[in-house]
């Protein structure tokens, strides 16, 4: 019996344990057909989109809960007008979808709509405790941010950590998506060296056309070098073809063998549609 082969197969299955998935409000209804392929209790985030109303996101969170998954709405600090507005939104999320987890990020609105300039401002407000929020996810940027230096980004995580631990709130980090594991793993080592042991959900681009992936990469400031494209077996002339994250996920599976990275999980961004991502996950597991 080939023991090494069995270990390898087991490793690639394990990499998908406790994966999470982003589903936009308009796609939440698709979970009805896809739920057999998604483990109950899976964390599903609902992104903040300025084109969608709060009621639409609340309805999506409710749908996610009804299918047996754990909804995690995104809160964009700079898009909130007042503390009362935030409190009302959280009240609705809790009442309609029993939300206990949020992903809080600053957002891109400049200048801010109201008093919340960043995630830390919301954490300090005390509003989360009023609504029994138990877990806060914050953003991580392994490949940097167009408006902040590496030092600023690290200090921002450290500041949020101090606040969250003082509030005795559970927390985690969700990263932007990347096309290569190496820069993310290096970044994780830096995070762990600071004594941060919380789960880190690394962003995975779901299967999509190369053109779609490049478009999202340019908007998000994600590296898409020629070297990375070659690793995927792709070229600029293949922009109309599709690609799945097989190579990238394999790399994370290999990395998970080494305990130095701590608790890392995969978070899928379904740029080609939630159905394609779930079908890819099912296929990879088999």
Q: Determine the Cα–Cα distance for residues 284 and 267; give it in Å rounded to an integer.
A: 15
Residue-wise pLDDT tens digits, 181-196: 989 999 999 999 999 9
Domain borders along the chain are 3-279
Q: Is the pLDDT of residue 146 over 70?
A: no
**pLDDT higher at 169 or 224:** 169
Secondary structure class of 72 (helix, strand, coil): strand
Q: Determine the Cα–Cα distance for residues 280 and 255; give it in Å rounded to an integer.
A: 21
The CATH number for 3-279, chosen from 3.40.50.9100, 3.20.20.220, 3.65.10.10, 2.40.110.10, is: 3.20.20.220
pLDDT of the residue at 226: 53
Nearest to residue 106, comparing CAs of 92, 90, 91, 117?
Answer: 117
Q: Is the pLDDT of residue 139 over 70?
A: yes
**pLDDT higher at 286 or 98:** 98
Q: Determine the Cα–Cα distance for residues 115 and 127; give it in Å rounded to an integer.
A: 13
Residue-wise pLDDT tens digits, 56-113: 999 999 999 999 999 999 999 999 999 999 999 999 999 999 999 999 999 888 899 9
End-to-end Cα spacing for the chain: 20
Q: Is the pLDDT of residue 239 over 80?
A: no
pLDDT of the residue at 4: 43
pTM: 0.87
Q: How far is CA 108 from the centre of its chain?
A: 17
Furthest-apart CA pair in the chain: how many Å? 64
Q: Is the pLDDT of residue 230 over 60?
A: no
């Amino acid at each position: 019996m080939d023991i090494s082969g069995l270990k390898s197969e087991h490793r690639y299955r394990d990499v998908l344990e406790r994966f999470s998935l982003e589903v936009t409000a308009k796609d939440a209804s698709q979970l009805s057909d896809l739920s057999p392929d998604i483990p109950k209790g899976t964390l599903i985030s609902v992104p903040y989109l300025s084109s969608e109303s709060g009621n639409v996101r609340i309805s999506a969170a409710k749908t996610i809960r009804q299918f047996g998954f754990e909804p995690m709405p995104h809160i964009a600090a700079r898009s909130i007008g007042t503390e009362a507005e935030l409190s009302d939104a959280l009240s609705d999320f809790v009442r309609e979808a029993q939300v206990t987890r949020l992903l809080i990020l600053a957002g891109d609105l400049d200048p801010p709509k109201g008093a919340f300039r960043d995630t830390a401002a919301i954490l300090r407000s005390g509003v989360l405790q009023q609504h029994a929020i138990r877990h806060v996810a914050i953003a991580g940027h392994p490949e940097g941010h167009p408006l902040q230096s590496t030092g600023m980004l690290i200090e921002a995580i450290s500041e949020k950590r101090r606040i969250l631990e003082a509030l005795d709130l559970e927390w985690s980090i969700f990263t932007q998506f990347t096309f290569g594991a190496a820069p993310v793993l290096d970044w994780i080592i830096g995070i762990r060296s600071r004594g941060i042991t919380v789960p880190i959900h690394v962003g995975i681009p779901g299967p999509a056309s190369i053109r779609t992936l490049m478009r999202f990469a340019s908007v998000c400031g994600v590296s898409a070098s020629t070297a990375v494209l070659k690793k995927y077996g792709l070229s600029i002339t293949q922009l109309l073809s599709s690609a799945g994250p097989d190579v990238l996920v394999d790399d994370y599976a290999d990395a998970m063998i080494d305990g130095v990275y701590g608790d890392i999980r995969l978070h899928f961004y379904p740029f080609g549609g939630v159905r394609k991502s779930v079908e890819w996950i099912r296929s990879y597991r088999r």
